[in-house]
Amino acid sequence: KSVNDGQKLIIGAGNSLADTNALNTNSLTNGQFLIVGDNGLKQGLSVALANPAAPGGATSYRFASIWKVQNTSSVG
């Protein structure tokens, strides 16, 4: 998880999450990397997504923040 306040995205390797790197017993093989970043916008349900096909034309919401990922050597 990010060291930055307000970050809501959590990514883990293996079958579990750990609170710190020191407590993490999962591993990656040599040469595996997963780099994640976002555009710095709000991480809360704030962008409306209208769906006219849904009953009553329901509106859903998504985060304004958009993440991009670089996955090297198949990190799961």
Predicted model pTM:
0.59
Read off the tokens for 42.
């709000």
- How confident is residue 55, by pLDDT bands cut at 50, 70 and 90? confident
Length of the chain measured in residues:
76
- How confident is residue 56, by pLDDT bands cut at 50, 70 and 90? confident
pLDDT digits (tens, 9 = 90+) for 24-53: 888 888 999 988 888 989 888 999 988 888
Rg (the chain; Cα; Å): 17
CA angle 40, 49, 37 (to 5 degrees): 20
pLDDT of residue 26: 84
Read off the tokens for 29.
């093989």
- Backbone φ/ψ region at 65: left (φ over 0), alpha (ψ -120 to 50), beta: beta
